[in-house]
Amino acid sequence: LVLAARAGASRALLLRMLANLGTDAVVGSVPLAGDLFDAGFKANARNVALLEAHVAAPQRTRRASRLFVAGVVVAAIAIVALVVAGMVALVRAIA
């Protein structure tokens, strides 16, 4: 991640790489299932591939990374909205 930042990677690409590392850390910490996940999901290899793609075609990588970050933000907002709606429904059902 630091090398990508030094190489001039866009913020969106850095966020995408950080998401790979975060996914690996969170899911990899689950006993047994995390070990299986770690066997198939190689965050550093994915990040190297992202950086190589950025060097080869910076505009395409920047666009794809922005779409990825936007998708993550939309998904997070949707999850929060669903949780709030569920809480409201639960409170109404109790009251």
7-29: pLDDT as tens digits: 888 888 999 999 999 999 999 89
Q: Determine how many CB atoms are found less than 10 A away from the CB of residue 90.
A: 10
User: Residues with Cβ < 8 Å from 84, sequence gap 6 or more?
Assistant: none
Q: What is the pLDDT of residues 35-78, one digit of tens each?
A: 888 888 999 999 999 999 988 888 888 888 889 889 989 999 99
Cα gap 46→41, rounded to integer Å? 8
pLDDT of residue 34: 86
pLDDT of residue 81: 96
CA 47, distance to chain mean position in Å, is: 12
